[in-house]
Amino acid sequence: MSDFQPVLLAGIGITDSFTRASYEERGGYAALRQTLTEKKPTDVIDIIKASGLRGRGGAGFPTGLKWTFLPKDHPGPIYLCINADESEPGTFNNRILMEEDPHQVLEGTILSAYATRATTAYIYLRYEYPASWDRMQSAIDECYAAGYLGNKILGSSFSLNIYLHRGAAAYICGEETGLIESLEGKRAWPRIKPPFPAVEGLFHKPTVVNNIETVACVAQIVRRGVDWFRSIGVPSDPANPRDPGSYGPKLYCLSGHVNRPGCYEAPLGITVRELIDRFGGGVWKNRKAKAAIPGGISMGILTEAEFDTPLDFSGPGKVGCLGLGTAAVVVLDETVSMIDFLYNSCRFFAHESCGQCTPCREGTSWSLRMIERIRAGKGRIKDLDLLLEIGTTIGMMPGTTICGLADGAGWPIKNTIKKFRDECEDYVKRTNPTGWMVNEPVPALAIVNGH
């Protein structure tokens, strides 16, 4: 860690870092020129597979392997969709890359399109990022002017057009098939799989969906080599054949109750405690930490005793969380009520559920209603058990929903009640001293003034 030098954020702070001239001064597009001259698309796929790069959007699926799922002899067109929706709470690393170093993103996108034989790429950008839109569009225009985009790029036989597409700010559009549905102009309801996007995706054609940070890593891997990338991070576990390792640098978003919130680059595997103390300057106001979200609220929550957990693709799962997610760490200090945290989490997921799957639509809604009743002083201990039941039985993992939004909704519920059970029970007993032990059904809260 002591000799680690940031590469994804190396351009931050440089004057006009968002321009093509600045990017080229830092060696930008040299890898693209060399690739188009010396390498075949399959060579690039082999490089990315050998690097062990895993998707940075949340799922952590091996990127090179994902590219190999495309049909080998398909006549085309093949599409590349870049997910820049970035709607996981606490996540803002894509925005920084797009606004401060958009050409790094574009070089990675062009290299990814070349590897997958895509001739059209869409960058799906959330509506709340107007500055990102302007910077990305300006960079795309510069690429066309320089011959990096369009027909027969740099005199090669490869052609590519890139289009920005502005989404309507729906969390569900971060799911790849929901994103594809939205790109097609439809309601962003995730698709039942199979068929998977690699076989039948955008406009019923083979499609690859990658994340902004993922393609930025592609640009760096092609430029610096496989050995460089694999020298960073956490090697695969020889005792676990299903662990492909957690290689390379990662952009960690740190927010909440810390002295220096921000986006920081570090090797995969840094611990939560080191991220807070070394980069975040510790917990604010000389308070103690109580908990932390390891990678967006859909990943669950860590207690302070679990802060030595490594933030790689397998670390959070070892302490009962869903995974690394987007590596968006949100710190909660000792003054935070975990019931309030649970309320905010349930409110978010109830609002963002697309409503297509009954377990998710009803589960997220009823979870919110129960938490609202608890906060109104009418909670029961039984409600905590009901919330646990909902959190355990909804989701793609138990096989009740099409996409993973319900899993993400369930994890903060399960983690909060299991890891902070005493606090939750104490809250219920204090706020409802005469009714906390009731087991039979109770009336719903009366709606007052539309709330």
- Catalogue all structural domains in the chain, each as residue range(s) with its CATH number: 20-231 (3.40.50.11540), 246-333 (3.10.20.600), 338-431 (1.20.1440.230)
Per-position b or e across 23-41, b if 16+ CB within 10 A of its CB: beeeebbebbeebbeebeb
Other Cβ atoms less than 10 A from the Cβ of 196: the count is: 15
Contact of 107 with 28, CB cutoff 8 Å: yes
Task: Give the CA distances from residue 436 to residues 120, 365, 369, 371, 447, in Å, rounded to whole numbers and listed in that order.
Answer: 59, 22, 16, 14, 22
d(CA 290, CA 334): 5
d(CA 253, CA 329): 6
Nearest alpha carbon to residue 78 among 160, 16, 155, 195? 160
The pair of structure tokens assigned to 408 is: 């993400």
Check residue 205 and report its DSSP letter: S
Residue with tokens 């050998």: 50
Check residue 258 and report its DSSP letter: B
User: Any bridge partners for residue 100, and if so which?
Assistant: none
CA atoms within 13 A on the CB side of 262: 14
| H-type alpha helices, 117-175 | 130-146
Output the tens digit of pLDDT for each of the chain's 451 residues.
568 899 999 999 999 999 999 999 999 999 999 999 999 999 999 999 999 999 998 888 999 999 999 999 899 899 999 999 999 999 999 999 999 999 999 999 999 999 999 999 999 999 999 999 999 999 999 999 999 999 999 999 999 999 999 998 899 999 999 999 999 999 999 999 999 999 999 999 999 999 999 999 999 999 999 999 999 999 988 888 888 999 999 999 999 999 999 999 999 999 999 999 999 999 999 999 999 999 999 999 999 999 999 999 999 999 999 999 999 999 999 999 999 999 999 999 999 999 999 999 999 999 999 999 999 999 999 999 999 999 999 999 999 999 999 999 999 999 999 999 999 999 999 999 999 998 887 777 755 454 5
Angle at 211 between CA 316 and CA 137, to 5 degrees: 145
d(CA 280, CA 254): 7
d(CA 438, CA 56): 46
The pair of structure tokens assigned to 167 is: 């989404």
Nearest alpha carbon to residue 441 among 372, 364, 382? 382
**Strand ordering across the sheet containing 79-84:** 161-166, 120-125, 79-84, 207-211
Q: Which residues contact 197 (CB under 8 A, 6 or more apart)?
A: 176, 177, 180, 206, 207, 208, 209
Provide the whole-model pTM. 0.94
